[in-house]
Structure 1
Amino acid sequence: MFTFSDLPPEIRALIWKFTVEPRTVKVRLTETPVGSEEIENRLVSTTTVPAPLQTCREARYLGLYKQAFSELGTERRYIWANLDIDMIFLVGACNLISFEAIAPLIKRLKIQVENEGEMWFQLQGHKIQNFINVEDICVICEDGWYNWAGDSKLSWMSWPCALENVLLFNVDEGGRAINPIELDKMFEERWYARARVLQYQRDTWPQQELADMVPP
């Protein structure tokens, strides 16, 4: 009976490569317990090990995935990732300072943040520039889009990739996504629409007031 292992090595290697698909890999650092005298940040991921790596030793030897992010945490841990195609999701409070050591390794980044009062811009925004090799960024906007309006024009908020490759997901609108350029255009159109309504009301109010004063 002909089996997979009977195939030539180069054919088997090609088949294994076809099994590789982009994944979202969740990564977070545990926080040091309150009152602890020692810093105990640990690298944690709930993303399962890729199936090919659990299948056989040959798949592991092909280097389809690498042991990544052992630089993080107070003890040596790692996750399996293909950094060329996997979306790395920094889960939790998303203190980007904690991920500076691995920032240059990430090409596809996902974060979930709240930007109330533009606090994230002010405290964390400049740290996004450490991801110097990132090509795509997904931002889950926990508090909606409003606090992200004007982002594309902020001189001190510089995304490390093209603005067209930054997607802002609005949890208040069913996860609808838009890039900063489109978002600013949308809010500008809304602002001008409101301004036109207000101007119309100001222009017509004296006329309506006079009309009301005229006896029938």
Structure 2
Amino acid sequence: MSTTFHPFPRLPLELRLAIWEMTVEPREVAVGIFQPTPEDALEALYTHPRDWSIITSKRFDEAMRDVPTSTRAGRKERKKAREEWKPYQPYVHLVSPTIPATIHACQEARNHGLYQRVSMDEQHGTDRHYVWLNPDIDLINIGMTDLAYFAPIANYIKRLKFSRQVADEYWYDHESRQQLPKFIHVEEIHVVCLDGFWNWGNEAYSFLWPCPLKNIVFIDETSPEGHLRAGHLEMERIRCKMLGLSSPSDEEESLNW
């Protein structure tokens, strides 16, 4: 017996759009990188993205806005600057194996704006490497990928997930203080604690979270008690219980945050 609802195209447009909206559900979208793309291939191969001089065409034009193109001297100065200040691509290309089923349904569903094409290109969508996202409900999981890769779309991300070791010096001294605060619109963060709850504990207060600490979920996938998911206060209580220490009260928690 066929499950196809053949009269669907004859329904009023408002009803069809409402039905398409009902197909949208929160997803955890694993987002990775395709490849770094500076002009100098050796720089991409042997250096870390945080060491690149990321100069887009837009930023180049801003830097040279006082240099006229109407004079020979101005054009010569711009040419020299362009030769010395190479126009790198903005970091990386996004790639994800997850494509919402609604996107495959029909053009009407795609055009309704349920999902947006997001790429590293400054104009969002002109890059051939892109992912489909609904930023309001999708949890973007970047795994262990450096936050610096996602700087071009940091303002776009509202729900973020990543995996880190609290003892990693780069995370502790640089990434959590310089890269993490750039995600100014993030409302919720999921942190996979690669070195366990017991190594995080009160260290969570050391980082410049762009959202309230109460909106952060800590995940321990290697605990002797199995897969654990907890807010900060609950994580601290679990950690103290395992270590035989006294756990913080709700009042102490409110004073700390």
Counterpart of 1:101 in structure 2 is 152
Inter-CA distance 30–119: structure 2 relative to 1 (3 Å threshold): same
Which residue among 59, 71, 85 is the counterpart of 2:109? 59
3-state SS of the aligned residue for 2:192? strand
Count of aligned pairs between the two proteins: 186
**Distance in 2, Cα, partners of 1:169 & 1:19:** 28
Counterpart of 1:147 in structure 2 is 199
| Deviation readout 1:71-130 (Å, 9 max, x if unpaired) | 38xx64211111111011113x32111111111111110111223356522231112111
Shift of 1:153: 3.4
- Which stretches in structure 1 are left out of the alignment for 5+ residues? 194-216
Inter-CA distance 171–118: structure 2 relative to 1 (3 Å threshold): farther
- Which stretches in structure 2 are left out of the alignment for 5+ residues? 46-91, 247-257
Aligned pair 1:163/2:168, yes or no? no
Which residue among 150, 171, 180 is the counterpart of 1:128? 180
Counterpart residue identity of residue 117, structure 2: Q
Counterpart of 2:232 in structure 1 is 180
Report the aligned-residue RMSD.
Answer: 2.6
Q: How does 1:39-50 map to 2 (within 5 A)?
A: 39=44, 41-47=92-98, 49-50=99-100
**Distance in 2, Cα, partners of 1:82 & 1:15:** 17
Higher gyration radius (CA) = 1
3-state SS of the aligned residue for 2:180? helix
Normalised to the residue count of structure 2, the TM-score between the two structures is: 0.64
**Distance in 1, Cα, partners of 2:35 & 2:112:** 35
Counterpart of 1:197 in structure 2 is none
Normalised to the residue count of structure 1, the TM-score between the two structures is: 0.75
**Distance in 1, Cα, partners of 2:199 & 2:35:** 27
Kept after mapping to 1: 8 A contact 2:201/2:235: yes
Counterpart residue identity of residue 194, structure 2: E
